[in-house]
Structure 1
């Protein structure tokens, strides 16, 4: 099954039917789930140094590649500091369709490797790859700044203010053992309050299907066996980071941190590099329109 799936290319994924989940549906909740395990003080043996990190404030190399002039915003989900700022992250913010917590702690592996650390490491690796292609890359959070959050509405505003050509939020899920695989979350059509996703639904779907195809090809991680009916694509209308976006944007849940097989991949620096490569190739394909 895995071998057959790995042979798929983005063109095949573009023909997939999209499985809609209304109001969150049945999910593990990596995009907005509160973890049950607190972060560990040190690094686990399975999680190598975040070797793709560029010190905060260090300027990028001059853009010179095929994506020169393109802006990409990467949103590493959650924040290590959220564990110490419960009052702040529990504050409700308006996401258009309703009000929701500012942010959550995210999930973790059973050994304590947190989603927040995972997402930031993948974001750093992805930034490096995209900058090599000439893109201007902005992160919604970087290192220890800010100390918590940002709130989900602010994460959307960062992409909007940058006039991003593409934006992606990096996550990992926290479902049950045996539930494995990745899925890409697409914005559903929302027109309520401050939210109006109608102009971005089409281009976001294009971005998401391309990312799903290249992520599958580069990582060998199968599409989720518990969401999306095997397509690797899920549409949601309850995520502030998507509802409030005015630029093409998707979320990717790279795997399930609570499944032992997926956790072994997510805690591998080598695999995280492949994950970043897969996401990068999907974004590049989208921005080139090829």
Structure 2
């Protein structure tokens, strides 16, 4: 910095003091600049590291949560698509489970629009199987398609124990002549022929009927409590596991026929069956 010229009138001591103050100020400024340059050249400190957030514990899978996990189920879709074209085979006499004989099987009923019971039962069974398997259950169907013949009712009834299943549910739809008749109902073997057909089957029927009601379907008014007790159904008589035959809809009733004919309606039926099985499985521990 250049010196500031002195005024002729300033005394010498005053001029020296002024020069000294200006030099000191210059030194302070230079020092501040140097310090700033030094600080700016240093790398900034890294921000403090944070411990990684703990990963949430994995939620249990659907299979681990469901009472259906590991449950072994036989689903019996009623009738078959080829039965109507095989009258001789259908007329074969087989064991009815009570020392008598009865026809191998039948073609089933249909809606007024021609939608057959066998197709309805097959579709609902597949939907039910898929939902059960997604929940961890093991599922066997008594037939592999909707174009074959049979199997006979005695084979269907024995299928639960032959597949070491926990439960048998036979899926059907009723065909009352009166189109005003409506509502679902369950059929159980009565009187029971073994312990499984007693209280365990009654509890299964109750769980399935409750689930259908909670799904918005109407129970049949033809049977008290929507429960029918019959001694003549080989599918139930020959079962050595809890076994229920469900008549899910009245196919001659126009409103219920419309539901049965719709994919959405069949999905609702399937979900209700699954819900009933889950409730039953949970209650049995």
Bin of the TM-score, shorter chain as denominator length: 0.7 to 0.9
Q: Which deviates more, 246-255 or 91-100? A: 91-100
Between the aligned partners of 1:199 and 1:140, the Cα distance in structure 2 is 20
> Could you tell me which residue of structure 2 aligns to residue 288 of structure 1?
282
1:231-281 deviation per Cα after TM superposition (whole angstroms, max 9, x unaligned): 111111110000000011101101110111111111111111111111101
Superposed structure 1 runs of 4+ greater than 6 Å apart: none
Aligned to 1:78: 79
Inter-partner Cα distance in structure 2 for 1:269 and 1:185: 25
Matches within 5 A, 1:133-282: 133-144=135-146, 147-175=148-176, 176-190=178-192, 196-218=193-215, 220-225=216-221, 227-229=222-224, 231-282=225-276
Q: Which has the higher contact order (CA 8 A, sep 6+)?
A: 1
Structure 2 spans left out of the alignment, 5+ residues:
1-61
Supply the distance in 1 between the matched residues of 2:271 and 2:146 (Cα, whole angstroms): 24
Count of equivalent residues: 219
SS in 1 for 2:82: helix
Asked if the contact 1:197–1:244 (Cα under 8 Å) also holds between the matched residues in 2, the reply is no
Paired position in structure 1 for 2:105: 103
SS in 2 for 1:129: helix
Deviation at 1:64, TM superposition (A): 4.2
Let me know the Cα RMSD of the aligned residues. Answer: 1.5
**TM-score normalised by structure 1 residue count:** 0.73
Q: Which has the larger radius of gyration?
A: 2
Q: CA deviation at 1:144?
A: 4.2
Structure showing the higher helix proportion among its residues: 2
Residue 238 of structure 1: SS of its match in structure 2?
coil
- Deviation of residue 84 (structure 1)? 0.9
5+ unaligned residues in a row in structure 1: which ranges? Answer: 1-62, 191-195
Find the counterpart in structure 1 of residue 15 from structure 2. Answer: none
SS in 1 for 2:143: coil
TM-score, with length taken from structure 2: 0.74
